[in-house]
Amino acid sequence: MCRPTRPVAVPAAAAASPVRLTRRGKIVLGLLAAAVVAGATVLIWLAIAGRAQAAQRAGPGGPAGSHGMLRVVVHPGQTLWSIAVRTDPAADPRVVIQQIVDDNALTGTAIQAGQVLWVPRL
């Protein structure tokens, strides 16, 4: 038959003792923490680089494949209207402005000096 077992008394000091890591355990935890930090850094870098690359695209082919496009650096005082009129004086500036906005993925018509724009070539 089975004998009834008695609970074993554990001293209170032994039950509350902190976990102790060996040297190997400390090395493993350090490497794990470094891997987590490196992974987070890579993910953040990829997110920022992807956003910057998307902002520089000038349409379906991007600037590298932008045949029929001119690279224009905005000078102080220039507007999309003045750039559109200079680019194609015979065309309706409103149509050219819309092309510039679409090709450069602009959120509005505000531009700043020093900004690089891709405009349709004649």
The conformation of residue 68, written as its DSSP 8-state character, comes to T
CA 88 to chain centroid, in Å, comes to 35
Residue with tokens 């470094």: 34
User: pLDDT tens-digit profile of 21-42?
Assistant: 899 999 999 999 999 999 999 8
**Segment 41-84, tens digit of pLDDT:** 988 888 777 665 555 444 444 444 456 788 889 999 999 999 99
Question: Which residues, in sequence order, are CB contacts of 21 under 8 Å at separation 6+?
Answer: 29
Question: Which pair of structure tokens corresponds to residue 15?
Answer: 């039950």
Cβ contacts of 94 within 8 Å, gap of 6 or more: 84
- Torsion angle (degrees, nearest 10) of CA 51, 52, 58, 61: -70
